[in-house]
Amino acid sequence: MKKLLILILFPVLCWSQVDDCGERPIKPIQAETQTKKDYKKSAVYVEYKKTLKIWKSCMSPLAISERDEKKTQESIKAKAEISVAKFIEKIKNPCGERPDKPERAQGQKHDDYRKTAQYIEYKKVLKTWKSCNSPPGISKRNQETMDEDFEKIRNAIASQCGEKPIKPFRAKGVNNEEYKTSPEYVDYRKNLKIWKNCSSATKKNVTAGPCGEKPTKPFREEGIDHEKYRETPEHIEYQKRLKVWRDCNTEINKKKSK
C-alpha cells in the first residue's frame, strides 16, 4: 500500500518541482563533422552546461527544502496579513457617515415634506445607520467580522507584552530633528522595538495551533558540506522535532477531512 501511495504521489511532487525549475535542459546535438573537443568548446554546449548546472542546483534537496520553507513563511505572512485586515475592519467605521437629511422645499408643508419619496428613503437609511451603530449592532458586527483568534491574540499580547508604548507629545516650536533626539523619543523608540518583537513572538505562539510553531532549521556554517551538516546533533534534533510537528499536523488534517 505504501509503495502504491509513493507511485501515485511521486509524479505530483516531480511536477511541482518542474514548475519551480522548469524542464531539464536538452543537450545539443553534435554535428557529424565536429570533433568531441570542438563540440564541448562550442558556444551552444557551453551555454547548455551553464543552464544544466543552474537546473541541477534548483532541483537539489537543499534548494527544494529552502523553497518549501519559503512557502511556509509566505503562508504564515498571509495569515498575519488577514489578521491585520480584520483588525483594521474592526476599528474603522463600517457604518459610514450619517445620512444627510433632504432639504425641504420653500413653502412646503411639514406633513407634505414627510410624505415625499426622498424623506421616506432618508428615514429608511437613517434607521439602518442607527441600528448599525447601536450596541447590539456593534456586537453582531464583531461576531461576524472577527474570529476568536483576534481576541485571543490581543489578550495574549496585552498579558505578556503590556500596552503598546505611546508616542511622546511634540511641543510646539520643536523641529523634527530636536524632537527625534529628545530623551523621551529615544526611550519611546527603544520600548516600541521591544514591544514589537514581543508582540510578534507572542502572535506566532498563539496562532501556531495545537502542534506548536514549525521547528526552525539550524544554521549551516560556511564550509560545512551537506552530509556533515546533516550529521550534527542540532540537525538530528531538528529532524526529530520536525517529524513530530508534521505528524501532528497530518493527524489534525485527517480529522478535519472526516
122-177, pLDDT tens digit by residue? 999 999 888 887 887 776 666 555 555 677 778 888 888 998 899 999 888 889 89
Q: CB neighbours (10 Å) of residue 86? A: 14
Does this model's pTM top 0.85? My answer is no
Cα separation, 35 vs 39, in Å, equals 6
Cα separation, 30 vs 44, in Å, equals 10
Closest C-alpha among 244, 224, 220, 214 to residue 234: 220
User: Do residues 100 and 109 make contact, with C-beta atoms less than 8 angstroms apart?
Assistant: no
Positions in the chain whose pLDDT score sits under 70: 1-19, 86-93, 139-149, 208-209, 256-258
- End-to-end Cα spacing for the chain: 21
What pLDDT does 13 receive?
46
Q: What is the DSSP letter of 167?
A: P
Closest C-alpha among 190, 206, 89, 86 to residue 158: 206
Enumerate residues 6+ apart whose C-beta is below 8 A from 57. Answer: 63
